[in-house]
Amino acid sequence: MNAKFLTYTIKRLLMALLTIFLVIAITFFVMHAIPASPFSSEKAKSDAVIAALEAKYGFDKPVTVQFFNYLKNILHGDFGLSTGWVGNTVIELILGGFKYSARIGFTAGILALVLGVFLGSVAALRRGKTLDKIIQVVTTALVSMPSFVMATILLLVFSLKLGWLPSMGNQPGGLILPIISLSLYPMAYTTRLQRSSMLDVLGQDYIRTARAKGVKNSKVIFKHALKNTLTPVITYAGPMMAYILTGSMVVENIFSVPGLGRLFTNSMLRTDYMMIMGVTIFLATMIILMNFIGDVLYKVVDPRIDLS
Amino acid sequence: MSEKKKTFKNPISLQIDPRLFEKAGDEEKAQQVTMRESVSFMKDAMRRLRKNNIAMISLVVIIVIALIAFIVPEFYPYTYTKQDVSAQNLAPFQYSAKEQAKLDRGQKVFPHIMGTDALGRDYAIRVIYGTRISLLVGIFSALIVIVIGIIYGSISGYFGGMVDMVMMRIVDIIYSLPDVLIVILLSVAIKDWVASSKSSLVARLGAGMVSIFIVFGLLYWVSMARQVRGQILSIKEQEYVLASKAIGASPARIIRKHMIPNCISVIIIIAAMQIPSAIFTESFLSFLGLGVSIPMPSLGSLASDARTGLRSYPYQLLFPALAIFLIVLAFNLLGNGLRDAFDPKLRS
């Protein structure tokens, strides 16, 4: 198992690295296919100034040379200089925004997983009862609501109408609403996943055996069933990361949180190409790595899965 | 002994010995009578779908929404572009001073069912147009996914071996790309290109729409291709495919006539799941300002615009939010119903 597992991990890692490389290449060449120069949109500048700026940012060299330079710099953690926030490097801005996004995203993710596993298990154990039906209806509704709808409605109800929570992210308690709006969809999804997984496991022979032996109900659920129901939830970690990171673009804008998502949409408004490239690559890398971790963990927790 | 030797000279001989046969009795004949018409897979699935109340209600909801979205604008008295400075931010069924004066004179004024927006445009027609955009995006993306996914998946599965390996590696890589980020990136890039484009269709659709379709064409077909390939791989081993090959049918004919009909359940399920996710993506992009071009409304851009007056005019958020929720919910529930009806593994 170990040698096989190691080859699988290495293969999967190489695949992840290749994907990251591809994302960098796609990002770079797409952004360079844009006809406009990042400096042309600003107010009248003489050609000499534009040329000087382009030389400063290295835009006057052939595209392939620029690409390999860019790649080399990224490996050194250098994503270039921001043209929208003059005087800042891209990586500084990204890390500054990531501080907020990570806090919101991490909390939202954990909340979604814990609540989702709990609610899903409860629904499965109360299968067909009223509680199960309520959970099913609510989660079905939640997975049909885009993050921006959820966030604006929460903002409208809890901060504008009821006044219970602040509407801005920088006020005390201001991160509660963004966290809730980001976690509802993954929570509902995890609940549904966990419910069907729990139902599947509860129908297995070893559960019946355990019950037949006279094992206590709580012990059957916590010791025998729960561990085995978690495999599908683990594979959802990667897609959930993708949802939370992209969802934060909308949610951070609605609640004015100075995070990575808001930075990204602002850099689109300022046509700051270096920032757009930097944030895309950064977010994509996070998502790809999370997918990698999810896949490897999946094999760790369920050794029955064929590795070939 | 000698007689038997005479009749069976060669065991493979096709000469039939009539003495070995006897007439069928009435009982045996009765067994051959078809008691009930044979039910095809498609009929069977449709019957199960019809029994599923939630799925049927969702289907009706979708049809009603589609009818409203495509027929009502044809005879609606307001257009989505017409601005009226005297009728800004009206509440639902409220009339502006000018319209009230008209009413007092005994003239008829069509009510603003959902009020008006900040520019005095009738909100109901804008929501209806936004709904139309959402439905179009969902349907076209499903079509793109079906066409590319089926062609790619069936070629990969049918030829197998090296071709399959290379094609599936490509799918693996595409599958792991973060799709929403690529959509945003392309929208940003295409926005510039659309702005300078002479083509009126592209300009009308807007950067977001064009890039959504491009990205669906490039990225979203992979799960369809994977499923179709898996299905084809198992169908390929069936005897009737071998028989068809033996008669001399071309690969294209075998794929078209034998394999795709047998993949139909997978195709229907995945296409149904594709529609709500495409609608989600479009509304998300429109909300970020990357969707359809102004003044064309989209449910996402309507919700985004409503944020400025959220405190005073919350209904401007609620109507598009409700519309998108209803559409996605109906498609999700219908998709679940289709999956239950068409997935042979769940047949009981």
Q: What is the value of ipTM here, to two decimals? A: 0.79
> Cβ contact (<8 Å) for A148 and B283?
yes
Half-sphere exposure of B79 (CA within 13 A, CB side): 5
- Hey, what are A213's tokens? 């032996």
DSSP assigned state of A172: T
* Beta carbons of B80 and B295 less than 8 angstroms apart: yes
C-alpha distance from B276 to closest chain A C-alpha (Å): 8
> Cβ contact (<8 Å) for B185 and A276?
yes
Could you say which of A146, A280, A291 has the minimum Cβ distance to residue B280? Answer: A146
Residue A101, pLDDT score? 87
Residue B40, pLDDT score? 75
Q: How far apart are CA B76 and CA B105, in angstroms?
A: 23
Asked if A124 is an interface residue toward chain B (Cβ–Cβ < 8 A), one would say no
Q: N- to C-terminal Cα distance for chain A?
A: 11
* Mean pLDDT score, B209-217: 77
Mean pLDDT of chain A: 82
> Please, which pLDDT band fits residue B1 given cuts at 50, 70 and 90?
very low
Q: What are phi and psi of B310, to 5 degrees?
A: -55, -40
Under 8 Å CB-to-CB from B35, ≥6 apart: which residues? none
Residue A169, pLDDT score? 66
Q: How far is CA B9 from CA B15, B17, B275, in A?
A: 10, 12, 67
Q: How far apart are CA A291 and CA A283, in angstroms?
A: 12
Return the minimum-mean-pLDDT range out of B6-10, B122-126, B259-263: B6-10
Q: How far apart are CA A278 and CA A94, in angstroms?
A: 8
Top mean pLDDT of B32-46, B164-178, B180-194, B286-300 is at B164-178
Q: How far apart are CA A295 and CA A113, in angstroms?
A: 17
Look up tokens 């985004």; give the residue: B304
> Please, which pLDDT band fits residue B6 given cuts at 50, 70 and 90?
low
Could you say which of B186, B310, B325 has the minimum Cβ distance to residue A145? Answer: B325
Q: How far apart are CA A2 and CA A259, in angstroms?
A: 41
Residue B60, pLDDT score? 92
Residue A191, pLDDT score? 92
Look up tokens 């978690």; give the residue: A230
Under 8 Å CB-to-CB from A301, ≥6 apart: which residues? A227, A230, A231, A234
* Mean pLDDT score, A45-74: 75
pTM: 0.79
pLDDT in tens, B28-64: 887 777 777 777 777 888 888 888 888 889 899 999 9
> Please, which pLDDT band fits residue B192 given cuts at 50, 70 and 90?
low
Interface probe with A: pick from B54, B134, B137, B181, most Cβ of A within 10 Å: B181
C-alpha distance from B321 to closest chain A C-alpha (Å): 6
Residue A113's closest CA among A233, A265, A278, A255?
A233
Asked if B314 is an interface residue toward chain A (Cβ–Cβ < 8 A), one would say yes
Interface probe with B: pick from A28, A154, A156, most Cβ of B within 10 Å: A156
Is pLDDT of A42 > 60?
Answer: no
* Mean pLDDT score, B106-113: 71
Cβ-Cβ pairs closer than 8 A, A with B, add up to 115
Asked if A303 is an interface residue toward chain B (Cβ–Cβ < 8 A), one would say no
* Mean pLDDT score, A287-302: 82
> Cβ contact (<8 Å) for B181 and A287?
yes
Greater confidence (B325 vs A1) lies with: B325
Tell me the residue length of chain A.
Answer: 308
Asked if A246 is an interface residue toward chain B (Cβ–Cβ < 8 A), one would say yes
Residue B228, pLDDT score? 86
Provide the sign of the torsion angle of the four alpha carbons B328, B329, B335, B336, taken in this order. positive
> Cβ contact (<8 Å) for B192 and A16?
no
Residues on chain A touching B176 (C-beta within 8 angstroms): 15-16, 19, 288, 291
> Cβ contact (<8 Å) for B306 and A249?
no
Return the minimum-mean-pLDDT range out of A41-55, A116-130, A181-195, A216-230: A41-55
Is pLDDT of B252 > 70?
Answer: yes
Asked if B169 is an interface residue toward chain A (Cβ–Cβ < 8 A), one would say no
Is pLDDT of A176 > 60?
Answer: yes
Residue B10, pLDDT score? 64
Residues on chain B touching A23 (C-beta within 8 angstroms): 177-178, 181-182
Residues on chain A touching B328 (C-beta within 8 angstroms): 144-146
Mean pLDDT of chain B: 79
Q: How far apart are CA B179 and CA B184, in angstroms?
A: 9
Asked if B42 is an interface residue toward chain A (Cβ–Cβ < 8 A), one would say no
Chain A CA closest to residue B175: A19
Tell me the one-letter amino acid at A249.
M
Residues on chain B touching A143 (C-beta within 8 angstroms): 332
Q: From the CB of residue B60, how many other CB atoms can be counted at a distance below 10 Å?
A: 12
Return the minimum-mean-pLDDT range out of A57-61, A146-150, A227-231, A240-244: A57-61
Residue A95, pLDDT score? 85
- The verdict on whether omega for the bond into residue B261 sits within 30 degrees of 0, i.e. cis, is no
- Hey, what are B238's tokens? 């069936």
* Beta carbons of B144 and B136 less than 8 angstroms apart: no
